[in-house]
């Protein structure tokens, strides 16, 4: 399925699990015949669609003599001035056994406490405050408002609805993943299962998915759910579902829904007819694992579903996370036991020197998240996928990563490195990390869906930055985070931290500023080098003249280091925030718009990146067209290692010559090397804060570039695609050269 098709299908998940009567009459209230309207038809209903305004019209309601089995109203009472009257009117339009399916957003939803903006006012916290800051005049201009669960329940009661069953929907109505009846609370880790979505992700300052465990434990989950689907029944009969997991984003062959019934039966049902083969595969996988001695939850195929009993036992991940605090030795023993289970799951066909034991079939979901812990045994379920000839270590690695996910305290008790060393995986961490994520990345179509996720998913670094802004006054924040390069002349930089933040800093700014050395609290790092700079322990800071240095903390969790510096008597420090654009400190001061209006161009600073191997007329035209639109053109040139890694080829011309050729071009104001590990548009924008990035038109339909376009637009910059010179390219020239060499 294409990305747009997947996004059109995802909203169907809100109703895909619901048991409708065949040939029943349904009134669907919406301004268009969208995916949900199509779903109702696919389920065999006789559907009539009316617009929101039409359904709210008293004349329509009074004249309508039809009686419906179902009325489906999604986000409709938010748009009327009298919800009670509307709910009463809909009740009169239903048969004696009819149902109203009412979908609403919760103004007290957790997403809004995390900083998401109200969909009607476009501001944070308006719904939480019950819109009290809106004047009478302001209220006239908004198209609606959200209500709380209590308020909706009150409206329904006043309208005469006696029987109602509410389902909490996460993350929201448009992208439903999880549905929970008000009769139950989740018994799973939502921090791993849930992928929050927002109206305005750039204003979010809390990681929503990690708060749900506390809400569940304090019985606040349903009150603070983001959205609700409320089943209103005239005769008191309801659907038997208690909990539903929906995976519409996996495409037609892999999309399944898991339904836990009130009868404590678990059903897995394909969302499309093409998915039935997945159920057969699941049953086959379970039998294979069982034959290899792996404990499995018994399941069977029935009609178009896979049926399992409901297991009221703790998940293995919950057991292990609790165990690490109570008995560390036992925790290590249990991880060893888990590893043994993975190694037992399939025949061994090789023992690779780099990746370890290769399994004949690698069951990718053989992890503690898809597993119960019953009487000292791991009992697995939902084993949908396997890959042939797959490293056991990749599965074990993923399993351990999942245990540590969400609870940072575990790392301080026993670092993951302990297990990487214990199992001989310490030299392959990056490879195993990539392998363990690749399958999920493809399964959820994350490559194709990048532009859509850019619109609604909050980047963790943005969340981190937003939170820091709250913790400081405007002046403090600017001084500590924004002015890290201000008045730095004649000073060397000391980086505190030898991790990824420092690597990023050095890649982007290491050549522009003089780096003295690196400090890290990990003794294992002392004496080593980071990008050519020696790493010392913190005591080094007491042996130098700090007036000649600037300390920049390059660690995400920087507060402990701040306290550490203060304990050493050091009050002057700065913090590198990778979400801040420091570009104004990198470019020459003369980069300004021309005074003569005739010479002014659309953009002041432009940026374009490329390999520029075997420089040809196509490259020249690209640079010329870019320069025509900007006053100052920066050109990023990919290093030799970058070409090998990303294009899987050796450049014909070495980097030193390629960048010199580009720099000599009259259209280029500054040629720069693109950092190997931080080569994207986001990193380039952080460094140069350009007004526009240019790219060849051959990338115009690429999801990565579409996501980059959205990112830059949020920052106030553009992404412009320039026409690609079809008749000439480095690839074509190389092909001609290779053919000539072959003839010789």
Note the pLDDT tens digit of each residue in 48-86.
998 876 555 555 666 667 899 999 999 999 999 899 999
Could you tell me which CATH number the domain at 3-246 has?
Answer: 3.40.50
* 733-to-468, 615, 728, 729 alpha-carbon distances in Å: 51, 10, 7, 6
Q: Among all chains, which residue has been given the structure tokens 């002015």? A: 483
Helix (H) or strand (E) holding 349: strand 348-352
pLDDT at residue 726 above 70?
no
- The per-residue b/e assignment along 402-436, b for 16 or more CB within 10 angstroms, e otherwise, is bbbbbbeebeeeeebeebbeebebeebeebbeebb
CATH class for the domain made up of 468-580: alpha beta
Q: Is 495 left (phi over 0), alpha (psi -120 to 50) or beta?
A: beta
Cis peptide leading into residue 333 (ω within 30°): no
438-442, Cβ contacts within 8 angstroms, sequence gap of 24 or more: 439/364, 439/385, 439/387
Q: Residue ranges per domain, the chain?
A: 3-246, 261-458, 468-580, 584-734
- The pLDDT of residue 456 is 93
- Alpha-helix residue ranges (DSSP H) falling in 472-568: 474-477, 500-509, 559-567
Specify the pairing of strand 25-29 against strand 549-553. Answer: unpaired
C-beta of residue 197 within 8 angstroms of C-beta of residue 75: no
pLDDT range class, residue 309, cuts 50, 70, 90: very high
Task: Summarize the confidence of residues 494-506 as an average pLDDT.
Answer: 95
Q: Among all chains, which residue has been given the structure tokens 């390059």? A: 554
Express as a percent the part of the chain with pLDDT over 70: 92
- Alpha-helix residue ranges (DSSP H) falling in 628-729: 640-647, 655-664, 681-688, 703-714
Top mean pLDDT of 504-513, 583-592, 641-650 is at 504-513
Give Dmax (Cα) for the chain: 90
Could you tell me which CATH number the domain at 584-734 has?
Answer: 3.40.50.620
- The pLDDT of residue 587 is 61
Task: Summarize the confidence of residues 277-289 as an average pLDDT.
Answer: 95
- The pLDDT of residue 262 is 94
Per residue in 291-307, pLDDT (tens digit) is: 999 999 999 999 889 99
Domains 468-580 and 584-734 share a fold: yes
pLDDT range class, residue 3, cuts 50, 70, 90: confident
Length of the chain: 744
Task: Summarize the confidence of residues 334-347 as an average pLDDT.
Answer: 98
* Tokens, residue 85: 């009257």
CA angle 605, 611, 614 (to 5 degrees): 120
455-459, Cβ contacts within 8 angstroms, sequence gap of 24 or more: 455/201, 455/710, 456/175, 456/197, 456/198, 456/199, 456/201, 457/195, 457/196, 457/197, 457/198, 457/201, 458/196, 458/198, 458/201, 458/202, 458/204, 459/201, 459/579
Q: Measuring CA to CA, which residue among 413, 379, 418, 420 is closest to residue 396?
A: 420
* Tokens, residue 338: 């888990």
What does the DSSP 8-state code read for residue 459? P
For the entire predicted model, the pTM comes to 0.86
pLDDT at residue 692 above 90?
yes
């Amino acid at each position: 399925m294409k990305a747009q098709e997947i996004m059109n299908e995802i909203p169907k998940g809100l109703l895909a699990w619901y048991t409708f009567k065949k040939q029943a009459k349904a009134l669907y209230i919406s301004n268009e015949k969208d995916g949900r309207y199509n779903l109702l038809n696919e389920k065999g209903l006789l559907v009539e669609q009316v617009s929101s305004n039409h359904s709210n019209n008293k004349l329509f309601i009074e004249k309508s003599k039809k009686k419906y089995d179902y009325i489906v109203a999604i986000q409709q009472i938010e748009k009327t001035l009298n919800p009670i009257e509307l709910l009463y009117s809909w009740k009169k339009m239903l048969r004696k056994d009819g149902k109203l399916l009412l979908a609403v957003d919760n103004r007290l939803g957790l997403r809004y406490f995390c900083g998401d903006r109200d969909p009607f006012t476009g501001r944070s916290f308006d719904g939480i405050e019950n819109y009290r800051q809106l004047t009478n005049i302001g209220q006239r201009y908004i198209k609606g408002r959200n209500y709380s669960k209590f308020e909706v329940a009150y409206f329904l009661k006043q309208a005469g609805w006696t029987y109602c069953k509410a389902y909490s929907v996460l993350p929201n109505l448009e992208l439903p993943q999880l549905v929970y009846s008000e009769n139950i609370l989740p018994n799973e880790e939502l921090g791993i299962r849930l992928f929050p979505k927002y109206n305005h992700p750039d204003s979010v300052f809390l990681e929503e998915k990690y708060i749900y465990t506390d809400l569940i434990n304090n019985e606040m989950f349903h009150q603070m759910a983001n959205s609700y689907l409320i089943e209103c029944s005239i005769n008191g009969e309801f659907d038997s579902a208690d909990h539903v997991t929906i995976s519409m984003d996996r495409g037609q062959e892999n999309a399944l829904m898991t339904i836990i019934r009130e009868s404590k039966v678990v059903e897995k049902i394909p969302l499309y007819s093409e998915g039935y083969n997945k159920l057969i595969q699941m049953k086959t996988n379970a039998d294979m694992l069982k034959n290899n001695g792996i404990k499995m939850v018994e399941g069977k195929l029935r009609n178009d579903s896979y049926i399992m009993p409901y297991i009221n036992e703790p998940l293995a991940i919950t057991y292990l996370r609790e165990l690490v605090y109570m008995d560390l030795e036992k925790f290590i023993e249990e991880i060893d036991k888990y590893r043994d289970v993975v190694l037992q799951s399939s025949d061994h066909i090789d023992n690779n020197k780099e990746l370890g034991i290769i399994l004949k079939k690698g069951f990718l979901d053989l992890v503690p998240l898809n597993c119960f812990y019953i009487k000292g045994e791991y009992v697995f379920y939902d084993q949908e996928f396997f890959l042939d000839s797959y490293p056991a270590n990749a599965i074990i690695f993923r399993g351990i990563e999942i245990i540590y996910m969400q609870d940072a305290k575990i790392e301080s008790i026993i670092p993951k490195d302990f297990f990487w060393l214990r199992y001989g995986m310490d030299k392959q961490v990056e490879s195993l990390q990539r392998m363990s994520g690749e399958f999920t990345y493809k399964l959820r179509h994350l490559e194709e869906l990048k532009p859509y996720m850019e619109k609604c998913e909050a980047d963790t670094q943005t969340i981190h930055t937003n939170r820091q802004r709250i913790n400081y006054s405007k002046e403090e924040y600017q001084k500590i985070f924004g002015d890290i390069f201000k008045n730095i002349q004649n000073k060397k930089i000391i980086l505190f931290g030898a991790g990824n933040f420092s690597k990023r800093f050095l890649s982007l700014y290491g050549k522009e500023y003089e780096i003295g050395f690196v400090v890290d609290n990990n003794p294992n790092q002392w004496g080593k080098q980071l990008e050519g700079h020696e790493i010392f322990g913190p005591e080094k800071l007491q042996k130098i003249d700090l007036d000649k240095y600037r300390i920049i903390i390059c660690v995400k969790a920087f507060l402990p280091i701040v306290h550490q510096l203060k304990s050493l008597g050091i009050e002057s420090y700065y913090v590198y925030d990778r979400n801040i654009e420091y570009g104004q400190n990198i470019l020459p001061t003369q980069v300004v718009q021309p005074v003569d209006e005739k010479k002014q161009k659309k953009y002041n600073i432009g940026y374009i990146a490329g390999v520029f191997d075997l420089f040809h007329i196509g490259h020249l035209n690209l640079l010329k067209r870019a320069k025509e639109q900007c006053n100052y053109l920066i050109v990023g040139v990919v290093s030799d290692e970058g070409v090998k890694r990303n294009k899987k080829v050796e450049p014909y011309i070495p980097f030193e010559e390629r960048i010199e050729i580009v720099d000599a071009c009259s259209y280029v104001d500054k040629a720069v090397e693109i950092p190997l590990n931080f080569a994207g548009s986001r990193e380039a924008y952080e460094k140069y804060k350009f007004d526009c990035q240019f790219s060849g038109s051959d990338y115009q339909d690429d999801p990565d570039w579409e996501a980059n376009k959205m990112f830059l637009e949020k920052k106030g910059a553009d992404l412009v695609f320039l026409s690609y010179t079809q008749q000439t390219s480095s690839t074509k020239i190389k092909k001609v050269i290779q053919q000539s060499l072959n003839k010789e």
